[in-house]
Amino acid sequence: MSHDVLQGGCDPAFRSVADRFAALVEADPTLSAQLSVRVRGEPVLDLAGGPHLTVDAVTGVYSATKGVAALVVAHLLDRGLLDPDRVVADYWPEFGAADKDQVTVRQLLSHQAGLPLVERPLGVADVVDSRAAAAVLAAQRPLWRPGSAFGYHALTIGILVEELVRRVTGRTLQTVYETSVRGPLDADLHLGLPEDRDGRYVPVRDPELTAEQAAEVAARPPADAIAEAVFSNFSVPDDRSAEGASTNNPAVRRAGFAAIGGVGSARGLAQVYAAALPGGGVHVAAPEVFAEMAQQHAWGTDRVLGVPNCFGMMFMLPQPRQPFAGLGAFGHDGAGGALAFADPRTGLAFGYVPSPMQHPGGADHRAVELARLAVAVARAAG
C-alpha cells in the first residue's frame, strides 16, 4: 500500500483491497475517494485518497441516502408498526384516491406504484419539506397500473416514504433515524447535518467529463416519454447556486431529504450498514426483516431508467449491470458514484464515496471492483 497516496489504516487481512484502492487513486489524478469496510461490526479498513477528501470529511451521497432511509423502514417493520402486505391507504387514507386503494406498502417501497413524478414541478422547497408534494402524489393517478411494471422513483420514493413514516409514527423519518439508528451508533452519516458540523463538509463537485464521455452524452437518443417527464420534473437553478437542490445548499443539508439529502462519509455508510447485520452495535431490526427487504421484488427493464435493474423493498440488489456483491446482499448507490451495502453471508458492510461526481451516474465502476474484492477477502477469511 502506498502511504504517500492514502491516509487511514487497514487490517493486514485487507491489504490487497487497500493496495488496489491506492492503485486506482494513483491512476486517476482527478479522483478523490473514501473507502470503509467493517466485518461483523469491526472496522477493518478506513481509507481516503486524493486531494479533496480526507477520512474525516463528509459530503453529499445522493441516492445512497435511500438505503440509509430503508433502515428506518426496517426498524418500523421490526416493531410491528408497519406491515408490507397492508395497503398504503390503511396508514395514509388520502393515498387511496385515483385507483390506488389496493397499492401495498411492499409495492410502494419497491418502485412498483407508478408514481415516479409529481404532477407539478418540484422545487427546493419540496426537498426541504415533502408534505405538500406528498399530498399531490396521494391524489394523482399512477403512470402505470401498480404492480404491472417497476421504475426508479428517483425523488418521489423519498417523498412517499417520508409521508408513510409520518403517518405511522407521528414523527419525521429523520427523527426516527436519529434516535434509533444514527444517534446510538454515533454514525458519520446524517439525514440532516447539524450546522456545527458544516466545517467538515466538502462540497459536491460536478463530473469532469472527458471528450469521449461528453460526445457519448451528446449522442444519446431521445429519452422515453416517461423518463423525459421524470427527469424534467424538478425545476431549480443550477446546483452550484445558493438555491440549488444538492447538499451544497445549506437548507438541503439541514433537511436530510430521504431520497438524495444524506451527508456523510464512507465510514458513516459502513457504520449504518453494519447495524443491519448481527454484531453491528445497535438493534435496528431482526435479520429476518432485512432478509425480507432484500428479497427480490422487482427485476427486469426499469420503466424509468430503461436499463436492467433489481430492487427489494427500498434496497437495490446486486445484478449483472452492477454486481457489487453476492446473493442476499442489499444496499444502494448514488448518482455521484457512492456505493454502500451489507452482505449477510460474510458479515461485511461497505462504504465508498468519490469526488467529483462520476460519469455516467450510479456506483463508480471502481466501487464495484473494490466491493467484489472486499467480499472475496472476507469470504476467504471465513
The C-alpha atoms of residue 273 and residue 117 are separated, in whole angstroms, by 29
What does residue 330 show for φ and ψ, rounded to 5 degrees?
A: -150, 145
Please report the pLDDT score of residue 239 as a whole number.
46
pLDDT in tens, 337-357: 999 999 999 999 999 999 999
- In CATH terms, the fold of domain 6-381 is Beta-lactamase (3.40.710)
| Strand order across the 59-60 sheet | 59-60, 263-264, 189-190
Instruction: Check residue 244 and give its pLDDT.
Output: 73
Residue whose entry in the numeric block shows the C-alpha cell 409529481: 118
Set of cell numbers at residue 324: 457489487
pTM for this model (two decimals)? 0.95
Q: Which amino acid is at 286?
A: A
Angle at 186 between CA 79 and CA 43, to 5 degrees: 100
Contacts of 380 (CB under 8 A, 6+ apart): none
pLDDT of residue 92: 98
* Positions of the chain with pLDDT lower than 50, given as ranges: 1-2, 239-240, 242
